[in-house]
Amino acid sequence: MDIIFTVIREDTFWKILLSVHFMLALILLAALTLQVVTALMPARQVAGGFVDRGPIPAASYATLIAVVYLLQALMGAWIYIKYRTYVRIPMEELRYWWTVGGFDFKEHTVAMGVGLLPAYWYFWQQPASTERAGVRKWLTVFLTLGVWYALSIGHVANYFRGVGS
Amino acid sequence: MTQTLDAREGFSQLDSSHPSTAQAGATSETFVVTFGIAFTLGYTVFQMLNWPLFTYMPAVGKTYFWLHRPVSGEGPPMFWYGWIVTAAINAFVVGWIATIVPGHWLRRATVFCCVLSALWPAALAGLRIFILDWATFDADFLNSIWVAAIPALLGTGIITYYVPSRFADLMWTRWLLVVPIGGLVVLGYGLILLWFLR
């Protein structure tokens, strides 16, 4: 870390890291939201007995989502060091209890998502399997809601003390 | 047409000649499902009991094994990494064991663990209510997680014994959603008491 800080200022480094974290979160959110919409939309039966499965190949997103989710969790864990010392302490001093509690809940949500990631990825490797369609769909919904929540509360914390605040 | 039939025969042979592929698929599914359940359940339990594998002190850059209460000048402790690593190790071990035990045992064991994780804290809460509101003697000795384990294990044993195999099979992948949602409810409730009601 000290080598990096000889090249770049410490606060600039953390701001760059936070910005990359935010951009990756947007990619993850977009991919998961598209996938969950596809998973929740029933397949349409069109003329001739063909089934229209929609224009979005939801299964092909699964590996990308799993990789970006894991990358995001690791990046968030790294930034969390700065949050714990630089953001949370003044947050507590200024009695922003709801933000502190909301961010703690984000930690739990992300951790649960990490645990479910192997199952999520595995079940999307057989997208045609109707036997596991339910668990595949609801795992995707769970991860999507978790990422939406994480991004929202992350934005609130950033607004308190982060990039551009 | 002949080619199509040949091709179908070929696929049929492929299907029947690769039981090992199906076996590998079943093993992978067993592992990922068990990993998911064990990780989310373990994370909730380790967080509630505050059992991190290690504690990181970001202000001084020090890492301590297990739970470390900060001394003056060390700054705030971080347990989150420790809970995740503990949960991951636990889930890997449980997931591996799951791949070598028979399926019906695994499903029943999953029911046992999930029911126990609900009944144990419920039994403890029940005992505490009994001590405060009902007991006519000094019942403080009952305020212990080990005393609560007795009715919890008994209740879990009875429930697991009487749960039909079909229900255990049906629930197996569903625990993947029930456990994390239940875990988040428990953890969220803890946060409400800690932060939101201040």
Give the bridge partners for B78, in sequence order.
B56
Assess contact for B106 and B30: CB atoms under 8 A.
Answer: yes
Q: Could you give the CA distance from residue A127 to residue A133 in angstroms, rounded to a whole number?
A: 8
Give the least confident one: A79-83, A125-129, B19-23, B101-105.
B19-23
Decide if B59 and A132 are in contact by the 8 Å CB cutoff.
no
pLDDT of residue A45: 61
pLDDT of residue B2: 43
Domain finish residue from B54, B72, B100: B100
The whole domain housing A42 covers 2-160
pLDDT of residue B1: 42
- Pair (B63, B88) in one structural domain: yes
Summary mean pLDDT of chain A: 89
Q: Is the pLDDT of residue B9 over 50?
A: no
Say what the pTM is: 0.89
Q: Does residue B185 lie within any of the structural domains?
A: yes
- Pair (B39, B129) in one structural domain: no
**Most confident by average pLDDT, A49-63, A66-80, A117-131, B20-34:** A66-80
Instruction: Count CB-CB contacts under 10 A for residue B78.
Output: 21
pLDDT of residue A140: 96
Decide if A115 and B43 are in contact by the 8 Å CB cutoff.
yes
- Binned at pLDDT 50, 70 and 90, residue A43 comes out as low
Decide if A142 and B180 are in contact by the 8 Å CB cutoff.
yes
- Cα–Cα distances (Å) from B76 to A37, A96, A109, A117, B55, in that order, read 41, 17, 22, 30, 10
- Pair (B145, B67) in one structural domain: no
Q: Could you give the CA distance from residue A129 to residue A118 in angstroms, rounded to a whole number?
A: 17
Place of tokens 């010392």: A85
Write down the number of H helices and E strands in chain B. Answer: 7, 2
Instruction: Count CB-CB contacts under 10 A for residue A28.
Output: 22
Distance to chain B for A116, nearest Cα, Å: 5
User: pLDDT of B62-76, one tens digit each?
Assistant: 999 999 998 888 899
Q: Could you give the CA distance from residue A116 to residue B56 in angstroms, rounded to a whole number?
A: 25
Q: Is the pLDDT of residue B3 over 80?
A: no
pLDDT of residue A51: 56
Look up residue B108 and give its amino acid.
Answer: R
Closest B-chain CA to A109: B184
User: pLDDT of B109-153, one tens digit each?
Assistant: 999 999 999 999 999 999 999 888 888 888 788 888 899 999 999
Q: Does residue A165 lie within any of the structural domains?
A: no
Give the bridge partners for A45, in sequence order.
A51
Q: Could you give the CA distance from residue B5 to residue A105 in angstroms, rounded to a whole number?
A: 58
- Cα–Cα distances (Å) from A151 to A109, A137, B77, B145, in that order, read 11, 21, 24, 37
- Binned at pLDDT 50, 70 and 90, residue A56 comes out as low
**Which residues are within 8 A (CB) of B178 and not within 5 positions of it... i.e. 6 or more apart?**
B114, B171
- Pair (B159, B71) in one structural domain: no
Q: Is the pLDDT of residue B12 over 60?
A: no
Closest A-chain CA to B92: A115
User: pLDDT of A114-157, one tens digit each?
Assistant: 999 999 999 999 877 788 889 999 999 999 999 999 999 999 99
Q: Is the pLDDT of residue A7 over 60?
A: yes
Burial B7-41 (b: 16+ CB within 10 A, else e): eeeeeeeeeeeeeeeeeeeeeebbbbbbbbbbbbb
Decide if A115 and B83 are in contact by the 8 Å CB cutoff.
no
- Pair (B113, B158) in one structural domain: yes
pLDDT of residue B65: 96
B187 close contact with A: CB closer than 8 A: yes
Give the least confident one: A40-44, A101-105, B100-104.
A40-44
Give the bridge partners for B63, in sequence order.
B56
Q: Could you give the CA distance from residue A108 to residue B44 in angstroms, rounded to a whole number?
A: 8
Closest B-chain CA to A118: B32
Q: Which of A101, A105, A142 sits opposite B177 (nearest CB)?
A: A142
Q: Could you give the CA distance from residue A51 to residue A90 in angstroms, rounded to a whole number?
A: 56
- Pair (B198, B106) in one structural domain: yes
* Chain B CB contacts of A144 below 8 Å: none
B36 close contact with A: CB closer than 8 A: yes
Cα torsion through B13, B15, B16, B22, rounded to 10: 160
Instruction: Count CB-CB contacts under 10 A for residue B75.
Output: 16
- Pair (B194, B109) in one structural domain: yes
Q: Does residue B136 lie within any of the structural domains?
A: yes
Burial class (CB in 10 A: 0-12, 13-18, 19+), A45: exposed
pLDDT of residue B23: 76
The whole domain housing B148 covers 102-198
Q: Which of B76, B87, B184 sits opposite A89 (nearest CB)?
A: B76
- Give the ipTM: 0.91
pLDDT of residue A76: 95
Assess contact for A62 and A125: CB atoms under 8 A.
Answer: yes
Q: Does residue B60 lie within any of the structural domains?
A: yes
Q: Is the pLDDT of residue B14 over 50?
A: no
User: pLDDT of B86-102, one tens digit each?
Assistant: 999 999 999 999 999 99
Assess contact for B144 and B128: CB atoms under 8 A.
Answer: no
Q: Could you give the CA distance from residue A62 to residue A118 in angstroms, rounded to a whole number?
A: 11
pLDDT of residue B8: 40
Decide if B183 and A80 are in contact by the 8 Å CB cutoff.
no
* Chain A CB contacts of B180 below 8 Å: 112, 115-116, 142
pLDDT of residue B10: 42
| Averaged pLDDT, A81-104 | 94
Q: Does residue B186 lie within any of the structural domains?
A: yes
Summary mean pLDDT of chain B: 88
Place of tokens 């339910």: A134
- Pair (B53, B36) in one structural domain: yes
Decide if A101 and B195 are in contact by the 8 Å CB cutoff.
yes
| Averaged pLDDT, B167-191 | 95
Q: Does residue A80 lie within any of the structural domains?
A: yes
pLDDT of residue B7: 42
Domain finish residue from B100, B115, B134: B100
The number of domains in chain B is 2
**Which residues are within 8 A (CB) of A5 and not within 5 positions of it... i.e. 6 or more apart?**
A13
Closest B-chain CA to A116: B36
- Pair (B75, B121) in one structural domain: no
Residue of higher predicted confidence among B10 and B168: B168
The number of domains in chain A is 1
Q: With a CB-CB cutoff of 8 Å, which residues 54-113 of chain B face chain A?
A: 56, 58-59, 75-76, 78, 80-81, 83-84, 87-88, 91
| Averaged pLDDT, B6-22 | 50
Q: Does residue B18 lie within any of the structural domains?
A: no
